[in-house]
Structure 1
């Protein structure tokens, strides 16, 4: 029963442009009953590609201040795959190392090792630790279909840290935004809580505020914020705490220290989520499908903020979240247009409960071709399909 389908596959490949010798070898392996040998050979006959890549460093139009410091430029790698049939597709690996991803140097070195000619077997074999690169090659090879529901999705407006947020919230509200995201954890708790009062005073009726601390707070600071948030229309507080193991422990490969730090951070977040009425959201804590599964198993009651550009192959994680009826917010990792297109396609394919997308960030860069869709209260499927990946590739290369 098993031989016939695989034999047919082998014959089809022989008739195409694959190596006839390997095709015959596969056919004979099945005929002799050596299925394992045949499957190994098949892995070498998957789709072949010409592989190219371009590393970029693009200054932001305005530096972005977060709890991790001042972020002045985006770095990443754009991938270009061309199949034997001439089909061209693109992907983007855009690491954020302080989130726990690989580095841009690691992505570039892996691309160099892939070489100019590659196939599915090689690309599928990239190490799991290269989550951003795996996400890029997966996106480049996906057959994206139009979503079942092409209606426009609401978008949250990104507010800068500090007092600058006060200058932008009213113009953004007049433009039609109903959800706002404010970067906190940059200044002192006391100063930012005063600003919180002022910002919430400028919110129009029914508007919501998301607070993103990027893991800046320890327990006491988080408790002060959550006490105050209970009085305001705060949709959630994103990643209030994120206790990493020391850099030394990581460098020395001390897995027990890393695991202990992770457990402490998770216990703290679960405790805060239970003790305060304002919902919490995970961001830095979910950098892989394994992370998502672990938090689902622990009964996380809050939101999952997904930067799918950083998560490797996100399909299984998304299926688990949908099955758990989780509250999911799709968010930008401040990608270029290539990564934006893939991430937005993921967002439009989501069938769970809708929440305003975290893609109100562009234009981030001075060159028009490099940016994702300009920030607007709604984003439409046509806005996604209009993104010209080839124009970006030409602009960078």
Structure 2
């Protein structure tokens, strides 16, 4: 069977720069794609690369889309090379969605022939089938942000570290951990920005708060896998791999090398959804599914995987709606109006 293929490049602004150890991020670009079968049924997908996280670059994804014919086959979709994991996710998600009309609770009654599926995101937190972790801003701003998110229903928070001097961040950490309610879980995300000694210091401090401290995410560089494996055996605070397991090939490699702590999985850049399902079900890993600031289209496909494969005690990292401008429905409709 062949499918008509169309795509558009889109860009959205963060409300303010997202600060990580990799630098500041101001604009989120991705590719929205649509497949249409012979019966006129549609499947939507998104390609949201993050090259510094291990996926292809946006120009590489665009080049791939441009070189495809206007009609493609299932064989083309499932032969996308592993070097293009975000493309694998986008095309396979669109293929899986062909004709299902399965776009969640938010779009009932909003979809007409040729219309983009509108999902009315962000949905209230209680509408999701899984608990959601909210991302706090880096630095002192986290101290004035968590209360509003708590009132919205979030009970797990992630805070970016390794963006300032460790002494300053530890002071903020203690203020934050003391102010959070007892039932809260806190995740620290270093984005591979710590030294071994700094990671030890964070883990020592985390061990003082076992009820609230859920895990330290990617403390060291991807090249320091053995050091992180060693740290995971020395401290009570769990370590979660993130950049080290960004793609399916990295997931396989980390598991084969003995990693049995937490895996953070970003479905939108991990690669083929079908092969990701197979890996997670075969190995029953402790997985935390996480966003890459995709649109409603990519987010829905990623959350479907998370609902199917997540451990029931792990909040998924999709609490990011408060960080992007609330213009999604407007531009999603405008994107395809001239087709």
Per the TM superposition, whether the score is higher than 0.5 is yes
Aligned to 1:206: 183
Compared with structure 1, are the counterparts of its residues 180 and 351 closer, same or farther at alpha carbon in structure 2 (3 Å cutoff)? Answer: closer
In 2, the alpha carbon distance for the partners of 1:102 and 1:48 equals 26
SS in 2 for 1:153: coil
Aligned to 1:305: 264
Indicate yes or no: 2:145 matched with 1:168. yes
Instruction: Decide which of 213, 223, 243 is 2:200's aligned counterpart.
Output: 223
Given that 2:280 and 2:309 are in contact with CA atoms closer than 8 Å, whether structure 1 keeps it comes out as no
Aligned to 2:108: none
Instruction: Decide which of 215, 222, 231 is 1:236's aligned counterpart.
Output: 215
Aligned to 2:116: none
Ranges in structure 1 where 5+ consecutive residues have no aligned partner: 1-46, 244-261, 372-388
Q: CA deviation at 1:369?
A: 2.6
Comparing 362-371 and 232-241, the one that deviates more = 362-371
Compared with structure 1, are the counterparts of its residues 241 and 111 closer, same or farther at alpha carbon in structure 2 (3 Å cutoff)? Answer: same
Q: CA deviation at 1:56?
A: 1.6
Which structure carries more helix by proportion? 1
Compared with structure 1, are the counterparts of its residues 274 and 349 closer, same or farther at alpha carbon in structure 2 (3 Å cutoff)? Answer: same
SS in 1 for 2:325: coil
In 2, the alpha carbon distance for the partners of 1:231 and 1:395 equals 55
Compared with structure 1, are the counterparts of its residues 179 and 308 closer, same or farther at alpha carbon in structure 2 (3 Å cutoff)? Answer: same
* 1:99-133 C-alpha deviation (Å, 9 max, x unpaired): 12111101111101012122122222222101101
* 1:340-376 C-alpha deviation (Å, 9 max, x unpaired): 11111111222644411111101443343359xxxxx
Aligned to 2:157: 180
SS in 2 for 1:277: coil
In 2, the alpha carbon distance for the partners of 1:357 and 1:282 equals 15
Instruction: Decide which of 44, 57, 74 is 1:120's aligned counterpart.
Output: 74
Given that 2:54 and 2:247 are in contact with CA atoms closer than 8 Å, whether structure 1 keeps it comes out as no
In 2, the alpha carbon distance for the partners of 1:319 and 1:96 equals 24
Q: CA deviation at 1:140?
A: 0.4
Given that 2:93 and 2:273 are in contact with CA atoms closer than 8 Å, whether structure 1 keeps it comes out as no
Aligned to 2:45: 91
Q: How does 1:249-268 map to 2 (within 5 A)?
A: 262=223, 265-268=224-227
Q: How does 1:284-299 map to 2 (within 5 A)?
A: 284-299=243-258
TM-score (ref. length: structure 2): 0.86
SS in 1 for 2:181: coil
Moved over 6 A (4+): 144-147
Compared with structure 1, are the counterparts of its residues 235 and 392 closer, same or farther at alpha carbon in structure 2 (3 Å cutoff)? Answer: farther
Q: CA deviation at 1:151?
A: 7.6
Q: CA deviation at 1:174?
A: 3.2
SS in 1 for 2:299: helix
In 2, the alpha carbon distance for the partners of 1:104 and 1:285 equals 20
TM-score (ref. length: structure 1): 0.74
Instruction: Decide which of 257, 263, 285 is 1:326's aligned counterpart.
Output: 285
